[in-house]
C-alpha cells in the first residue's frame, strides 16, 4: 500500500474512532487524526532500514572491507534479518507494546493506534502481514489491493478518504 493511502485511510479511520466511538469534539478528532495519519507510516521504515543495510552489506562484500569492519558487518546482517519488510514492525506486538507504554506517556496510545491501523490496512494487500511474527509465520491476508498493480486506484482512494472526512 502506498504511503499516501496509508495516511489518508488512517486519518479517516482514526477520525471515525475519535469522533464517533470516543466522543471527542470535531476539532480534537481532526487534530488527533492528523497525528495518527502521519505516524501510521512508521511500520514501513523497516523497508528503508532493510534496503540501507543491504546496500551496506553489498558494498562491504565487494570491497572486502567486511573483514576489516567485521563487527559492523555482523550488525548489518542482524539488521537485515530483523527488519525484513512486513515482519517485525508489522506484527500485533508492536501496537500492544506502544499501548502498554501509553499508560506512562499518552502519546504512545496515538502511536499504538497508528501502527495498529497500518497493520490492518496492509492486511488488505496481496502480500498480507505476518501478524504474530516471530511466534508464527501465519499471514493475515485479505487480498483486495495489489500494491504494484493498483497505484492509480490507491491514489484515487486516498483522495476519496480525505474527501469523506471533510
- Integer Cα distance of 37 and 106 in angstroms: 17
Separation of alpha carbons 166 and 153, rounded Å: 20
Residue 31 grid cell: 487534530
Cell numbers that stand for 91 in this block? 506484527
**Average pLDDT score over residue span 84-102:** 93
Q: How would you class 54 by CB atoms within 10 Å of its CB: exposed for 0-12, middle for 13-18, buried for 19 or more?
A: middle
- The phi, psi pair for 130, rounded to 5°, reads -85, 90
**What is the spatial distance between Cα 32 and Cα 37, in angstroms, rounded to a whole number?**
9
Omega of the bond leading into 57 within 30 degrees of 0 (cis): no
Over residues 134-155, the pLDDT tens digits come to 899 999 999 888 877 778 888 8
Distances (CA, A) of 125 to 100, 121, 145: 28, 8, 5
Write out the H or E segment, with its range, that includes residue 35.
helix 26-39
Q: Is the pTM of this model over 0.85?
A: yes
Q: pLDDT by residue (tens digit) across 19-74?
A: 999 999 999 999 999 999 999 999 999 989 999 999 999 999 999 898 999 999 99
> Rounded distance, CA 89 to CA 112, Å?
12
Amino acid at each position: 500500500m502506498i504511503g499516501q493511502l496509508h495516511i489518508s485511510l488512517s486519518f479517516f479511520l482514526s477520525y471515525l474512532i475519535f469522533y464517533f466511538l470516543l466522543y471527542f469534539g470535531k476539532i480534537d478528532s481532526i487534530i488527533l487524526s492528523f497525528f495518527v495519519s502521519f505516524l501510521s507510516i512508521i511500520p514501513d521504515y523497516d523497508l528503508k532500514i532493510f534496503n540501507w543495510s543491504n546496500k551496506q552489506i553489498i558494498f562491504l562484500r565487494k570491497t572486502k572491507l567486511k573483514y576489516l569492519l567485521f563487527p559492523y558487518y555482523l550488525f548489518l546482517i542482524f539488521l537485515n534479518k530483523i527488519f525484513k519488510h512486513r515482519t517485525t514492525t508489522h506484527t500485533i506486538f508492536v501496537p500492544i507494546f506502544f499501548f502498554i507504554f501509553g499508560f506512562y506517556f499518552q502519546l504512545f496510545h496515538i502511536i499504538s493506534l497508528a501502527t495498529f491501523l497500518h497493520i490492518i490496512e496492509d492486511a488488505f494487500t496481496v502480500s498480507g502481514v505476518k501478524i504474530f511474527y516471530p511466534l508464527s509465520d501465519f499471514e493475515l491476508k485479505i487480498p483486495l489491493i495489489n500494491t504494484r498493480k493498483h497505484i492509480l486506484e490507491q491514489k484515487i482512494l486516498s483522495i476519496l478518504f480525505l474527501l469523506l472526512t471533510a
